[in-house]
């Protein structure tokens, strides 16, 4: 669990540093990016669950919006109200070039994999 928390701390630090000099509120961008990644991962699990339990996929767009809002509120609570952002920024995490590349792949795969799974399930099942 500690490695997952450390990964999201580094992810927050990296995207915060990208917007730090160009925006007056750089903390919003990493929260949104982390939310997109987490929502994509949870949606992937939800699609598999919908398929295994033979639930109609018509509910999926509404479920995706609901899930996105819940994850956004949760991340907003963690980073803003519990002041996790200040704790992360005080740690001064070092971001390597490999982590920067990995973070883009993580976001891309988290966003594309549910779409690919929906296409795969619709075509073959």
Q: Is 26 helix (H, G, I), strand (E, B) or coil?
A: coil
Helix ranges (H only) for the chain are 2-19, 28-52, 60-76, 84-91, 97-124
Q: Are 73 and 31 in contact (CB under 8 A)?
A: no
User: pLDDT 10s digit of each residue in the chain, 125 long?
Assistant: 889 999 999 999 999 999 988 878 888 999 999 999 999 999 999 989 988 998 887 888 888 899 999 999 999 999 999 989 999 999 988 999 999 999 999 999 999 999 899 888 888 87
Burial of residue 94 (number of CB atoms within 10 Å: 0-12, 13-18, 19+): exposed
Q: Are 33 and 8 in contact (CB under 8 A)?
A: no
Locate 122 and state its tokens.
Answer: 């619709």
Kindly report the pTM of this predicted structure: 0.87
**Measured distance CA(44)–CA(49) in Å, rounded:** 9
């Amino acid at each position: 669990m500690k490695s997952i928390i450390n990964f999201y701390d580094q992810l927050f630090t990296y995207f915060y540093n990208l917007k730090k000099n160009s925006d007056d509120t750089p903390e919003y961008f990493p929260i949104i990016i982390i939310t997109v990644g987490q929502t994509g991962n949870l949606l992937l699990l939800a699609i598999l669950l919908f398929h295994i339990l033979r639930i109609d996929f018509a509910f999926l767009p509404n479920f995706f919006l609901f899930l996105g809002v819940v994850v956004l509120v949760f991340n907003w609570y963690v980073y803003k109200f519990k002041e996790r952002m200040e704790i992360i920024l005080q740690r001064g995490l070092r971001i390597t070039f490999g982590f920067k590349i990995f973070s883009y792949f993580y976001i891309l795969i988290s966003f594309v994999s549910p779409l690919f799974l929906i296409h795969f399930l619709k075509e073959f099942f």
